[in-house]
Amino acid sequence: MTVAATASAHSAAGKTTLSIIVAVSVCHLINDVMQSLLSAIYPILKTNYGLDYVQIGLLTFTFQVTASLLQPAIGMYTDKRPLPYSLPVGMGSSLVGLIILGFANNYPMLLIGSAFVGLGSAVFHPESSRVARLASGGRHGLAQALFQVGGNAGSALGPLLAAFIVLPRGQWSVSLFAVGSLVGIVILTRVGRWYAEHRRANAGRPAMSRALPFDRRTTLIALIVLTILTLTKNAYMASLSSYYTFFLIDKFRVGVQDSQLLLFVYLGASALGVFLGGPIGDRFGAKFVIWFSILGALPFTLALPYADLTWTVVLTVIIGLIFSSAFSAIVVFAQELMPGRIGMIAGIFFGFAFGAGGIAAAALGALADVTSVEYVYWLCSFMPLAGLLTVFLPDMGKVR
């Protein structure tokens, strides 16, 4: 490539930076709408197939563990051999999963459909997270937040779409959302083209240093702390996303459609929290956001089991707003701890988030069967205490 061509490629990449971040965010929305439809139709599946809470939890487990087992491997592979056009392939897997879920007539087919949606997420997240960082212009927190807010917005829209489209029409209507995945495939094909051009334009530059900013012991302790924080955060979020509708129905006798709307309100607050966490992290540092997000939610999670319906809605909005801002900060902090391993870190933490949520959903479902959903929420209310472990994270400001 000539100097002029390289300069032209750099200029083009600079002009499209924001559009690329928005594009992967929109596709994250589409991806997470598709995967959130699974949990949103749990009341339908529970009635149609006579499922218990353990079987509901196993559906979440199948989807999320499929994603979590593959994401780190995909991330490590693409750190060495980037695959720009793997993104539309992943979206295609989710399309297949939706069609299977829409027309499944037995429980094993539901599990297979869940696995295909999980495979699509496994392919999508590591590479799209890398694209967002490449297009960030150094504002990693903002780029990661914009990328993740698309996912949270998709998770919030899933129950709303289920309430007004799937619930009135039945299980088959889930397959209608495959149209969204077709749109995602078109967008991600163009993103893959930008990614490939970006790689060609930067082919002559030295590779990013993989030297650790801290000694191995400090790095290992920090990664363990971030892992524990991710585990507790996602276990709590799984208790809300998987069983919130049942909690509202059992405790307050709320109708199924109303429970879906209230789930949308909670997930919408979570999406806003993710967006706000990125710029705050760029301004004050990822560690500050982690402190505030996880410990800040504690008073509200402790109050939730004792609240009436009105205060339950208010508290879940506050919890979603505060608690959800942590994840983008955790990912950015981990990527700074392990330079040059963007895909691996994204794969591990996105994958671990899915896996932790899936395992928690299954375990909490089993606990709910032998106790109650209300007891599950009381037990989970103490999980934000893990935020105290943030004290063991190193100060990234000293490295800079």
| pTM: predicted TM-score of the whole model, two decimal places | 0.69
Question: pLDDT: is 386 or 151 the higher one?
Answer: 386
Question: Which residue type does 110 have?
Answer: L
- Provide, rounded to the nearest whole percent, the portion of the chain with pLDDT above 70: 92
Using the structure block, give the residue that is written with the tokens 């405790």: 251
Nearest C-alpha neighbor of 146 from the set 124, 129, 121: 129
Nearest C-alpha neighbor of 31 from the set 97, 108, 104: 97
Taking only Cα atoms into account, the Rg of the chain, rounded to an integer number of angstroms, comes to 21
Q: Provide the 3-class DSSP secondary structure of residue 103.
A: helix
Q: Provide the 3-class DSSP secondary structure of residue 22.
A: helix
Which residues form the domain of 333?
A: 16-399
Q: Is 219 exposed, middle or buried (0-12, 13-18, 19+ CB in 10 A)?
A: middle
Indicate the number of domains in the chain.
1
Inter-residue contact 353 to 334 (CB < 8 Å): no
Inside any domain, residue 9: no
For 241-255, how does the pLDDT look when each residue is reduced to its tens digit (9 = 90+)? 778 888 898 889 888
Inside any domain, residue 238: yes
267: pLDDT strictly greater than 60: yes
Distance, CA of 239 to CA of 375 (rounded, Å):
11
pLDDT value at residue 82: 82
Q: Is 97 exposed, middle or buried (0-12, 13-18, 19+ CB in 10 A)?
A: buried
- How many CA atoms, within 13 angstroms, populate the side-chain half-sphere of residue 75? 28
Distance, CA of 36 to CA of 316 (rounded, Å):
18
215: pLDDT strictly greater than 60: yes
Q: What is the 3-state secondary structure (H, E, C) of 273-288?
A: HHHHHHHHHHHHCHHH
Question: Which residue type does 170 have?
Answer: G
299: pLDDT strictly greater than 70: yes
Distance, CA of 126 to CA of 114 (rounded, Å):
19
Inside any domain, residue 3: no
Inside any domain, residue 358: yes
Inside any domain, residue 4: no
Inside any domain, residue 279: yes
Band of pLDDT at residue 6, cut at 50, 70 and 90: very low
Instruction: Give the mean pLDDT of the chain.
Output: 83
For 63-79, how does the pLDDT look when each residue is reduced to its tens digit (9 = 90+)? 877 877 778 888 888 88
Q: Provide the 3-class DSSP secondary structure of residue 285.
A: coil
Instruction: Give mean pLDDT, residues 110-127.
Output: 88
Inside any domain, residue 321: yes
12: pLDDT strictly greater than 80: no
Least confident window among 64-78, 167-181, 275-289: 64-78
**Residue 52's CB: how many other CB atoms inside 10 A?**
13
Q: Residue 215 belongs to a domain with what CATH number?
A: 1.20.1250.20
Band of pLDDT at residue 10, cut at 50, 70 and 90: very low
Distance, CA of 324 to CA of 318 (rounded, Å):
10
Inside any domain, residue 168: yes
389: pLDDT strictly greater than 50: yes
